[in-house]
Chain A
Amino acid sequence: MGQFFNVQDLGAIAPELELMLFGMILLIADLLVEDKKWLGFIALGGTAWSGYFLVRLHGVEVSAYSGLLNIDQFAWFFKLLFLLAAALTIVISLKYLDIEREHHGEYYALIMFATMGMMFMAGAMDLITMYISLETMAIATYVLVGFLRGNQRSNEASLKYFLLGAFSSGILLYGMSLLYGIAGSTRFGDIADALDQRSLGDPISMIALVAIAAGLFFKIAAVPFHQWTPDAYEGAPTSITAYMSVAVKAASFAMMVRIFLGALSPLREHWVVILTVISILTMSVGNIAAMTQTNIKRLLAYSSISHAGYILLGLIAGNATGLTAIPLYLFAYTFTNIGVWAVVVALRRKDIIGEQVDDLNGLIYKQPTAAILMLIFLLSLAGVPPTGGFIAKYYLFAGLIESDHSKLAVIAVLNAAVSVYFYLRIVVAMFMKESNEKTGLALSPGIVFALAVALLFTLWIGFYPDPFISLAQAVF
C-alpha cells in the first residue's frame, strides 16, 4: 500500500481536508444554532483556516498520491483564488439569505464542499481525480443554484444547469475514456506520451480531443455551449451567481489548462484552431447578446461568457506572456466581478426583486459611493485603465501580438471596445437617470467589506501590478 499512500500525502491535501471538516461541522451546527448568521462566520473561519494551511504549503512542489495530485505553484495559485472567492461569497450572502428567507446551514456547507472540489481540480494530474473533483464541485453547485426553494426560476435554473451539466460531463467522460484507451493510463503525463507517439492526424486522438474540448467548453460557458449560462445565472441566488461567475469559472479554466497543456499538449496544433474559432465566437456572441439585456443578471451572464472568450486567448497565444495572462486575468476578474455582483446582491431588498438594469437608476443620488465603486468595477470589466481589468487584458493582447496572432488581436480589442457599450448602459442608469424609488441598496457590513476588498485589489492591480504579475508568472 505504501506505494499508493503515505502519511505525508495527507499534509499535502490539508487545506482541502480542512474545508471538508468544516463542511461537516456546519451541517451539524445547523441543527444547534438558531441564528444562521453564525454559521456564516464558522464557514469564514473554515476558509481562513484552510487558507492558513495553504499559505504554509506555499512553494512546496510535490507529487502526492503517486502522481494523482500535484502540489505546485499552479495548484497553489488557484486554490488561493477559490478560497478568496468562497470567503467573499460567504460575506455577501449573510444578509441576502435573510432577505430571501432561505438562510440555512447547508448553504455554507455546500460552498465548502464545492470549494473543496475545485481545490482538488486545480491539483489533479489524473483523469479520474479530475473527474471526481469536478463532479464534487458541480453537484454542490447544482444544489446551490436551486437553493431558493420557493422560487420557480431558481428551480428551473437548477434543473437546466443540472441536465446540461450532466450531459456535458458525459461528453467529457467519453473523451476521457478514449484517452484512457489510447494511453492505457489515466495520468496526464502518460497520456501526453502516448499521444506523442501517434501521428498528428490520428482520428481517435481527434475524437478524444473534440469530445474533451466540447465538455470543457460547456463548463467554461463558451459559445456555442453557453445556453445554460444566462438562465442559470439569472435563476440562481445572486450570491451564488457571483460564486459561479468567479470560482466555478476559474476552476473550469484550471481544469482546461491542466488538460490542454498537460495531457493534450501534443495536439496543440489542432486545439489552437478549435480554440481560436470558439474564442472569437464566445467574445462576439457574449458581447452582442449582452447589449440588449434588461435584466442585470443576464447582462452580466453574457459579459461573463465574453470574458471566457478573452481568457481562451491566453491559451491560443501559448507563450509566456499569454500564459501569465490567464491567472492574472482570472485574479483581476475575480475581484472585479465580486464587486459588481456584491452591488447586484445589495439590489435585492425587502419586497424589491431588484434585477433589472433600471433598478440601478439614479444610484448616484442615493448612494454615491456605491455608484462610484460600481463604475470602477465596470470600467475594469471593460478593460479601461487604470484598473486591474486593463492590466489583465493588456497581458492577453500582448501575448497575442508577441505570438504573431495580429488578426485575432484586432478582433479581440474591437470586442473589448464594443463591450464598453453595455457596461456603460449600467453607468447611464446609475449616473444619468432619475431614480424610480427611494430605497437605496441593502448594504450590509458584509457587502461593504466585500466591496472594499474588491476595490482595493481592482485598483492595486491597476496601479501597481508588479506583485500580481510575479504571482501569475510563477504559476507556470
Chain B
Amino acid sequence: MAYSILEHPADLGIEARGNTLREAFEEAAVGLTSVIVDLDNVGVMIDRILTVEARDVESLLVRWLSELLYLYDGEGFLCKEVHIQQFSPARMEAKVRGEWYAEGKHHTKLDVKAITYHQLEIKEDPSGGSVRVYLDI
C-alpha cells in the first residue's frame, strides 16, 4: 500500500507515494476511498473517465480528490481502481473503476466533508512523487 493516513487534531490526512507524481495522485484517490468505506467490499463493475483541470498542481490535487468525493456523496459512486492516462500540472484525465454505493453491502467508515489546502504538500524528484493532503471530517 503506498498511502498512509495522517493524524490531525480534529481530522485526518492522506500521504501517498509513487514512482511518479501521477502514481501518487492515483494512490491518494484510493486512500480517499479507504477513509470513506471499507475497500474490501467495493467491486469494480463500472468504468468512468474523469477530466480535471486547474491553474496549478496543488489545485489539481484538491480538485481531483474533490471530484471523487462528489462522485461518492452526490452520485453514490465508490472508486476503487484508478489509472491516470494523461497527467500534467494543469490537466489530468483518469479512468476510474468502482461501483455504486449500496446500504448494507458497503461498510462506511467516515463522512468526509471536503478536501483542504491545509499543509498541502506535493513533491517530485527522480526518486519518485509524493503528496500530502488533509481532509475535513
> Are A and B genuine complex partners?
no
- Residues on B lying within 8 angstroms of A by beta carbon are none
